[in-house]
Amino acid sequence: MAEQPSHPVPPAESTLALSFLREDIQDVRHDVRQTNERIDTLRTELSGRIDALRTETNGRIDALHTETNERFDQMNDQMNRRFDQMNDQTNERFDQMNGRFDLINGRFDLTNERINELGKQLDSRYVRLMTMLIACTGILVTALGTAVAVLK
């Protein structure tokens, strides 16, 4: 038997195939690197776009928030003005009613004064009437006493 070398010598075709494979592997590695670079570039661009959109959205939200607050403030001011007007009108009506009540109280006071005066007049007339009745009773008692004395 013939001795075989411990490391066989590859034929020339195998060497060429290996060198082509090495070039292909390098090309694939290069393509992978370029793909990774493209992905990184796209990631950076997308992050920038997302940040820009986030900033724009936040700006719109802030603008809407500010506008909404302004509208609420305007509505609040309008409602406060309406309430103030209603309060003023109500206060005017209460003042008018108080004035009417004051007039009625004044009339009651005049009526009470008249009643008091009439009561005083009635009291003085009652006193005169009672005095006259007592005097008449005295005269009557005296006349009857005299009549009884004459008749005895």
* pLDDT recorded at residue 122: 84
- Average pLDDT value for residue range 111-119: 89
* Residue spans per domain, the chain: 21-122
The rounded distance, in Å, linking the Cα atoms of 68 and 75 is 10
pLDDT at 124 over 70: yes
In angstroms, the CA 14 to CA 30 distance is: 24
Residue 10 confidence class, pLDDT cut points 50, 70, 90 = low
Choice among 2-11, 20-29, 79-88, 108-117 with the minimum mean pLDDT? 2-11
Per-residue pLDDT at 21 exceeds 90? no
Q: What is the mean pLDDT of residues 55-61?
A: 95
Longest dimension (CA), the chain: 209
Q: What is the mean pLDDT of residues 107-122?
A: 88
Rounded to whole angstroms, the Cα distance separating 142 from 148 reads 10
Average pLDDT score over residue span 103-109: 90
pLDDT for 39:
94
Share of the chain above pLDDT 90, in %: 56
Gap between the Cα atoms of 90 and 19, Å rounded? 104
The helix (H) or strand (E) run that includes residue 2 is: none
Tokens (6 digits) for 99: 């004035």
Per DSSP, the three-state class of 70 is helix
Cα-based distances in Å from 17 to 12, 64, 126: 9, 68, 155
pLDDT in the model for residue 15: 81
What is the reported pTM? 0.44
Pairwise CA distance, residues 121 & 6, whole Å: 161
